[in-house]
Amino acid sequence: MTEPSSTILSAFFTLKGDNYLQFVTDFNRQSWPLQISSLILCMWLLWLLHQNNRSKTITRIFAICWIWVGCYFHYHFYTSLTPMAVFDAIAFAVQGCLFFLLSGKIQFHSPYHDRNSKIGYAGLAACMLLPTLAASFSGQSWWQISLVGMMPTPTALATLALLLLTTSKYRFLLAVIPFGWCIIAGVTHLNIGMHDWFVAPLVALIACGLMMSEHRKVTSQS
């Protein structure tokens, strides 16, 4: 008799590199032209971070992105590859709800406020714009691009980058699910033989390390 844990693990690790990339291609083709909206939204967010008193708007936009990715990507599409995606959808919906609940309690700094803010803004811009620019120069298919607000890993990485622009006590709570997803994404990509498997976990570790370093610095000064 098959152990329940073995069944769960085998359901999770059912992907291969080729069919995953084909899945991404099919997802992007079926989602067109939502990618245009995603790019416009990304540029708007980068602009908002230069404006005063826009923290609530930024937080709510990220809330919508997390809920959208959970419902649209994980539940509507990703469950066709693995039933475990239902749990991913729930986690992403929870993250979106947390952003909504905390939208009036978080203030984001100017991108030029300090070192972490500069790194966070640069990381946010990279998550939002680099995939499109990289595809333009590398010859990668446009249908294989992962965009913030459309797919989970760039959304999680963008969130961790955004949290570098705040010293709110809630930033660690908001970092748990994005960090966890980056680790899961890395393990999944390693399992299916993708060469970039280490990128998301590494970036997530660096972002969380910078947050912890800033927290210790603030604590020691208080």
84 within some domain: yes
Q: In this structure, is residue 4 part of a structural domain?
A: no
The predicted model scores a pTM of 0.90
Q: Is the pLDDT of residue 221 over 90?
A: no
DSSP string, 72-91: IIIIIIGGGT-TTHHHHHHH
- The token pair that represents 134 in the structure block: 């990289």
Residue 84 pLDDT exceeds 90? no
Stretch 190-206: mean pLDDT: 93
The number of domains in the chain is 1
- Residue 2 belongs to a domain: no
Residue 141, amino acid: S
Please compute the mean of the pLDDT values over residues 153-164 and round it to a whole number: 97
185/194 Cα distance (integer angstroms): 11
Which tokens is 84 given? 């475990």
Residue 171, domain member (yes or no): yes
**Least confidently predicted of 17-21, 117-121, 126-130, 160-164:** 17-21
Q: What is the predicted pLDDT for the residue at 5? A: 39
Prior bond of 111 cis (ω within 30°):
no
Q: Among 19-23, 38-42, 121-125, 136-140, whose mean pLDDT is lowest?
A: 136-140
pLDDT of amino acid 200: 96
Task: Report whether pLDDT(91) > 90.
Answer: yes
Residue 5 lies in a domain: no
pLDDT at 218 (0 to 100): 74
**Distance (Å, rounded) from C-alpha 83 to C-alpha 81?**
7
Q: Cα(97)–Cα(115) distance, rounded to whole angstroms?
A: 29
Asked, for residue 41, whether it belongs to a domain, the answer is yes
Where residue 194 falls among pLDDT bands split at 50, 70, 90? confident
Residue 143 in any domain: the answer is: yes
Q: Which domain covers residue 169, as residue numbers?
A: 15-221
pLDDT digits (tens, 9 = 90+) for 2-55: 444 333 334 444 556 667 888 899 999 999 999 999 999 999 999 999 999 999
Give the pLDDT confidence score for residue 124 in this predicted structure. Answer: 96
What average pLDDT score do residues 193-214 get? 94
- In this structure, is the dihedral angle defined by the CA atoms of residues 72, 182, 144 and 26, taken in order, positive or negative? negative
- Find out whether 134 and 37 touch, Cβ atoms under 8 Å: no
* 103 in any annotated domain: yes
Whether 192 has a pLDDT exceeding 90, the answer reads no
Residue of higher predicted confidence among 75 and 83: 75
